[in-house]
Amino acid sequence: MKFGCHISIKNGYLGAAKRAVASGASAFQYFPKNPRSLSVKDFDQEDAESCKSFCEEHGLISVAHTPYPTSLTPTEDKRELTIFSLLNDLEIANTCGSVGVVVHFGSQISKTDPLASYHLMLDMLNSVLRQWDGDCLVLLENNAGTKGALGTTFEELVQVRNLCEYPEKIGFCLDTCHAFASGLWNGENAEELFAKGQELGYWEELKIIHLNNSKYPTGSKKDRHANIFGLGHINEEQFETFIPSTLLKEIPFILETPDDEGISHKEEIEMLKQKWG
């Protein structure tokens, strides 16, 4: 099994990959540019290509995550900026050899038209992917249930992909904290979850799992990550029903857990490898 964590690019893309290996990781996630901005980055092509070569040499899988302001349901004044920013993220990640760019499912934009958000999401995805011909995928991530509670079900995620003009350019990222917070996975229904995903064809398109515990109970709709072992509301027995599934054996598990609450990512990765590796 492949376990990893989110890593800063303060020392460049190659530096992030080297830090991942030093942490005992076999996969890592990174922000391709400033995580608080939608600005387009004139990135170091040689550094990104070196990252790709290093990852191939060490069997390391990487994935990028869009900056925080990125939304597939933006306000009109942010629409073009978001499209250019996401295309920039895809270009950087593709050069780094990453499997995809994670982007959060959209938010509710209308109190009177429940379909407005989905229409805007599809328009945004089509606008971006019409201009994109690289190997890097857009990876839709499930939501925790906040901001209108969109993107909390497999049905929504799969349907948006199916309705897009370029479904082959879209995959999925499953966040365990978000699934727990939304009630999609309550810790006791893993068998039902796997069956539903198989029925809809979700697991075939899943590329990355964000492995996070939750600081709040299931159904809370609060997106607050906790460390995996003993520090959150998802216990080891519940993770045991999920992590070792044969459906997930090829999927990298990426930690987005706190690195400053008594356990480092390096220590947490080692514990995961000992428990489930």
Look at residue 230 in the predicted model and tell me its pLDDT: 80
What is the rounded average pLDDT of the residues 251-258? 98
Question: How far apart are the C-alpha atoms of 42 and 21, rounded to whole Å?
Answer: 26
Could you tell me how many residues make up the chain?
277
Look at residue 231 in the predicted model and tell me its pLDDT: 81
What is the CATH classification number for the domain harbouring 194? 3.20.20.150
Instruction: Quote the pTM value.
Output: 0.97
pLDDT tens-digit map of 106-164: 999 998 998 999 999 999 999 999 999 999 999 999 999 987 779 999 999 999 999 99
Report the domain count for the chain. 1
Look at residue 148 in the predicted model and tell me its pLDDT: 73
Burial class of residue 247, CB neighbours in 10 A (0-12, 13-18, 19+)? middle
pLDDT tens-digit map of 31-86: 999 999 999 999 999 999 999 999 999 999 999 999 999 999 999 999 999 999 99
Look at residue 241 in the predicted model and tell me its pLDDT: 97
H-type helices in 166-225, by residue range? Answer: 176-182, 190-200
The whole domain housing 217 covers 3-276
